[in-house]
Structure 1
Amino acid sequence: MNTIKETDVCIIGAGPAGATAALQLHQYNIPCIVVDKAVFPRDKVCGDGLSGKVLTILNSIDPAIGERLVGLQDKEESWGVTFVASNRASLDIAYKPVNDGAAGFVCKRMVFDNFLVDEMKRCGTIELIEGTAIDTYTLQQDGYLLSDASGSLRIKAKLIIVANGAHSSFTKDVAGIQMEPKHYCAGLRAYYKNVEGLHPKGHLELHFLKSLLPGYFWIFPLPNGEANVGVGILSEVVRKRKLNLRKMLQDTLENDPMLKERFKDAVLIDKIDGYGLPLGSKKRKLSGERYMLIGDAGHLIDPFTGEGIGNALYSGRYAAQQAKLAIAANNFSAEQLKAYDETIYYKLGPELKLSARLQKLVHRPWLFNYLMKLGMGNKQLRELMSCMFYELDLRKKLTKPSFYVKLLFNRA
């Protein structure tokens, strides 16, 4: 029988959430083992947008990591987001610059995730095991015994941080979180070259087209003249209407009066891939006896924009902070770890609630169009919407009814 590896913390999944948790633990000088079924670099179907949250959280862990991300060549700077309503009114929301540079980026997940893996490999306290999937989770009195299917890898951990995505068997079978179509988004991603009319400052474009409501169409500019293009619609709507997302994407590019001109010379440079987005539009139990769920495994994607990487990084850092406290207290009980849930929903909850409300607005195009019009003439609203992407505490203003009362009577 193979030797059992023992560790205080085992992180299952080396994507953005898991890597961030490991990097934060390294700052605390807490060793951990990170296991991922993939061998990096590997592709991950995603919108590839890195909002201002990403650089903010990496800088807070270690400014040197942020500096290396800024210096990464294979990415596109993004200075904001452009929302386009069904009536074609558009609203530009700028990110707040970081050290006079761009706060956001667009970077293929193959590149960004491998960047974080390389960061982990710099750290002597992190043991990274690639190409192995954890299939068995056995809760024992003193920790979890983890194993791959063959039993060739066995790990005993006092605490596990689950970061292996939306389809995590642990999330479903142990934590009891199931996929709910009304809190899940179906998406398609394609890479195109030679798309015309991209924003000069690399804005992420979110188009709430009438033909796609209550979903949206996106264009995210990438280096080398490429763009990440796709559609996302609630799974509940896809099922009820029996929608063919691939056909909807193609019809949009071929028939939409504005977009067909922008894509007339565009070339598809890779296959069209589908994926699911577990939305944070419902509050869930994210921890229990000796475990915490982070990133997509915790269903934390923004319900309105579909942005998940920033929230993944925040959840990874918060889980590492709670792990430090649990280790110091030698207490890994559900009661001890529920502070992680409280932190997540205190810090991210206001944003997720607001985004869920905005998502519902899309069902009423006239109201969403009005909000866009209001934002175009209201500096206060634009600034607060900008804060959604990098300042967690300020988002709480957007959940207060008093803010909207002031907004309606103050157009300055």
Structure 2
Amino acid sequence: MDSPDDCDVAIAGAGPAGLACALTLKGRGLKIKIFDKKAFPRSKPCGGELGIRAINTLRKLSFNNKKLLDGFDNKNPIYGFQINTLKHNNYSFLLDLQKNDVQPMGYTVNRQEFDFYLLQNLLDDPFIEFYPQTSVLKTLKNEGNIELITEKNFHKTSILIDATGVKHIRDKSVRNSWAFAISSFVKDLQIEEHQQNILQFYFTSYIFPGYFWIFPLQEGLANVGLYVPITYYKASLLQLRHYFFELIQSHSILAGQFQSASLASSLQGGWLPLGYPKGSYSEGRILKVGDAARLVDPLAGEGIGNALLSGHLAGLHILKCFEENNFSDEFLSTYNHIIANIFEKEFKSRHRIVKYLSKHPKTFDRCFHQLSNNRDFRKFIFKIFLSSQYSSKLL
């Protein structure tokens, strides 16, 4: 490093993807700078669900015998989910808590608290610096480094991690294949005690194959919202806010749950860049992670797990670059193959499922009817989408 403003790795964006990369690099003697345009802690519109992939990645990010996920107290364990189909049939899929060693299949978290917790686990490293309220305005690619220009300064880095999310994806036409979501925190929701630890999904013809979700949190709050794949939604996005309130007031089940509820935060919306085969995940010394790499699950709309994993994989690849002192485009581009091998087959199959269900909504109802009544079929499906660890412990 030639000056105090130089670093080994710069990370633009302090969401789960960027922070997972930094956690992977922590303690390796690399000088790391993390930039984010917001002051922390900051609010973030998101469902806030940590699934199996997120849990497994967080375990890998633990260090010095410290289990990262265990240290975050304000998480709500999830032991099942409930589906309300287009025909208003309710199906519940729950883990049998009477069996030994039943672990949650996931957790729900407040992203503002969760992201801040991950950040705090980095700042005890003297080689890591955090620059809040600092946007990377421009990048200049040189032969041996990348120059970053922010509002306040000029930095040089050997490798840049692009964790800036969707706003810096220049091609706006690709949004036609993305999804859009709006969400809010709600208090005083009337749900039964057993529903405090299950995810609820409500499917309606207006946004199908999208859904309305209720994800319970601790302290009497819930995260609620609409997930809408744009390919199959023909109305204006401006209508979604109106539909949100119409649904919670008129739906046969939701109206009762929301009778005394009120919003605990403003209703916010955002784009979800759904993963698709043949993506581009690197440009020379720039590696893309999370939403910047378009890695949101096309079926469920979940992005935190893929963001954490991609950040971790980027960090591992960076370590190899420094270990072998190889920063050639050829060596760096192998990150493309790493991401593609893990995600693209999965993305392709899940896009096919969504496309099929959009054309055959009756099949959607029949599928959950079979899942509810056929234990072997239920175990098979759960093994595919979760793991055999959970399929063997269903009620």
Residue correspondences, number = 382
Cα distance change, pair 298–95 in 1 and its aligned pair in 2 (3 A): farther
Partner of 1:83, secondary structure, is: strand
Cα distance change, pair 160–94 in 1 and its aligned pair in 2 (3 A): farther
Q: How many Å apart are 1:130 and its aligned residue?
A: 1.6
Aligned equivalents of 2:23, 2:88: Cα separation in 1: 42
Contact 1:76 1:222 in 2 (8 A): yes
Code of the aligned partner of 2:72: L
Cα distance change, pair 66–77 in 1 and its aligned pair in 2 (3 A): farther
Contact 2:185 2:223 in 1 (8 A): yes
Matching residue within 242, 245, 270 for 2:236? 242
Shifted more, 251-260 versus 382-391: the winner is 382-391
Cα distance change, pair 390–63 in 1 and its aligned pair in 2 (3 A): farther
CA RMSD in angstroms, aligned pairs only: 2.6
Contact 2:277 2:344 in 1 (8 A): no
Hey, what does 1:41 align to over in structure 2?
Answer: 41
Hey, what does 1:400 align to over in structure 2?
Answer: none
Aligned equivalents of 1:66, 1:57: Cα separation in 2: 14
Partner of 1:135, secondary structure, is: strand
Matching residue within 211, 215, 220 for 2:210? 215
Cα distance change, pair 292–381 in 1 and its aligned pair in 2 (3 A): farther
Hey, what does 1:383 align to over in structure 2?
Answer: 379
Code of the aligned partner of 1:196: Q
Aligned equivalents of 1:54, 1:220: Cα separation in 2: 16
Hey, what does 2:290 align to over in structure 1?
Answer: 295
Q: How many Å apart are 1:131 and its aligned residue?
A: 1.7
Contact 1:95 1:386 in 2 (8 A): no
**Are 1:55 and 2:41 an aligned pair?**
no
Aligned equivalents of 1:63, 1:377: Cα separation in 2: 43
Q: How many Å apart are 1:345 and its aligned residue?
A: 2.2
Q: How many Å apart are 1:93 and its aligned residue?
A: 4.7
Hey, what does 1:69 align to over in structure 2?
Answer: 69
Q: How many Å apart are 1:390 and its aligned residue?
A: 5.5
Partner of 2:305, secondary structure, is: helix
Q: How many Å apart are 1:267 and its aligned residue?
A: 1.6
Contact 1:96 1:386 in 2 (8 A): no
Structure 2 unaligned runs (5+)? 389-395
Code of the aligned partner of 1:357: R
Q: How many Å apart are 1:114 and its aligned residue?
A: 0.4
Q: How many Å apart are 1:128 and its aligned residue?
A: 1.8
Shifted more, 226-235 versus 76-85: the winner is 76-85
Partner of 1:186, secondary structure, is: strand
Aligned equivalents of 2:96, 2:21: Cα separation in 1: 25
Q: How many Å apart are 1:213 and its aligned residue?
A: 1.6
Q: How many Å apart are 1:109 and its aligned residue?
A: 0.8
Matching residue within 97, 105, 108 for 1:106? 108
Aligned equivalents of 1:20, 1:99: Cα separation in 2: 28
Hey, what does 1:189 align to over in structure 2?
Answer: 183
Q: How many Å apart are 1:383 and its aligned residue?
A: 3.5
Code of the aligned partner of 1:366: K
Partner of 1:67, secondary structure, is: coil
Hey, what does 1:397 align to over in structure 2?
Answer: none
Q: TM-score, normalised by structure 2?
A: 0.88
Q: TM-score, normalised by structure 1?
A: 0.85
Shifted more, 345-354 versus 20-29: the winner is 345-354
Cα distance change, pair 378–281 in 1 and its aligned pair in 2 (3 A): farther
Matching residue within 103, 113, 136 for 1:134? 136
Matches within 5 A, 1:322-401: 322-363=317-358, 364-387=360-383
Aligned equivalents of 2:304, 2:298: Cα separation in 1: 13
Q: Deviations over 1:299-327 (max 9, x none)?
A: 10111211100100000011111111222
Cα distance change, pair 196–64 in 1 and its aligned pair in 2 (3 A): farther
Structure with higher helix content: 1
Code of the aligned partner of 1:281: Y
Partner of 2:69, secondary structure, is: helix
